[in-house]
Amino acid sequence: MFEAYITNTALYPLMGIEVGTTVHFPTTTQELQAALAKIGIDGKRYSEVFFTSFDSDVLGLYDHLYECENIDELNELGHALLEVRDKGGLETFEAALVLGNHTRSVKDLINLTQNLDLYRFYPDISDDEGLGRLYADELGTIDIPEHIQNYFDYEAYGRDVRINEGGVFAPGGYVSVVPEGFKEYYHGPQDIPPEHRIFAYPEKAEPVHSSPSFSLHSNGFKKPHPLQKRTRRGLPMKNGKTSGQHGPKHKGGAYHQLLPYQ
């Protein structure tokens, strides 16, 4: 559902380059350990992990992921998004991200996946006039006499609907939310099912060498390339962006891995 480029920042002074690799979420303990071993992290000599960038087929998701996330929580989010996809709710989730409620943390995002029934999403509605026609003609929210239908200001009516509901036009359509009723199902890492807790250091990391030729050509240590930009449907977002490579929102500092709940 999404991927993260992780790096071993402790090696930058030694190697002179960023040493990293890509992890796809959801993942498994074995896959994560292989990724950590690849960049020299074993929990002994090197234990700090830094998220350099995120990429996702879910439009806008990377805007809400940061460089100091908990790996187990990211994995839980990946499983939650798989469930949303299987239920046909990804467009509603994407629209909810644009609305901006409950999107400040991975915890919020996990809970958002469990509350999508509170969101009203109408695909392909992109302006106030279309919204006004939807509500008046299809949903019947106002009775317009037939002899004045040609003169009715659907745009003004749609604008009033949007303002009163606090809705927004997302890349895929119009979205609004019921003001009350949002429930917190997920409270923190202690709620992650055991099968989704995957963080564990590898027993042994791959050897790290300071030779520039080795670091560029051996054991996967190489200069990181930007993650490919893409969208699930190949469409740009209205702000000119696509769902793609995204660097850390806060510069500086290494990430100390947040250990999973014990």
Q: 50 - beta bridge partners? A: 7
Per DSSP, 17 falls in state S
- How far is residue 50's CA from residue 60's CA, in Å, rounded to a whole number? 21
From first to last of the 262 residues of the chain, give the pLDDT tens digit.
Answer: 999 999 998 888 887 788 899 999 999 999 999 999 999 999 988 888 999 999 999 999 999 999 889 999 999 999 999 999 999 999 999 999 999 889 999 999 999 999 999 999 999 999 999 999 999 999 999 999 989 989 999 999 999 999 999 999 998 899 999 878 899 999 999 999 999 999 999 988 776 654 333 333 333 434 444 443 333 333 333 333 333 434 433 333 333 343 333 3
At 78 the three-state DSSP class reads helix
User: In this structure, are residues 98 and 104 in contact, taking their beta carbons and an 8 Å threshold?
Assistant: no
pLDDT at residue 15 in the model: 77
> How many residues comprise the chain?
262
User: In this structure, are residues 90 and 2 in contact, taking their beta carbons and an 8 Å threshold?
Assistant: no
Of 51, 56, 92, nearest to 69 (Cα)? 51
Cis check: omega of the bond before 248, within 30 degrees of 0: no
- How far is residue 95's CA from residue 173's CA, in Å, rounded to a whole number? 7
Q: Which two tokens stand for residue 256?
A: 């100390």
Beta strands per DSSP E along 117-183? 119-123, 168-170, 173-177
Q: 119 - beta bridge partners? A: 177
pLDDT at residue 144 in the model: 93
Kindly report the CA angle at 90 between 227 and 83, in degrees rounded to 5?
95
- How far is residue 180's CA from residue 183's CA, in Å, rounded to a whole number? 9
pLDDT at residue 209 in the model: 56
Q: How far is CA 244 from the centre of its chain?
A: 10
The reported pTM is 0.77
- b/e code 47-78 from CB counts within 10 Å (16+ = b): eebbbbbbbbbbbbbbbbbebebbbbbbbbbb
Q: What is the largest CA-CA distance in the chain?
A: 82
Of 208, 231, 230, nearest to 221 (Cα)? 208
Q: 174 - beta bridge partners? A: 122, 169
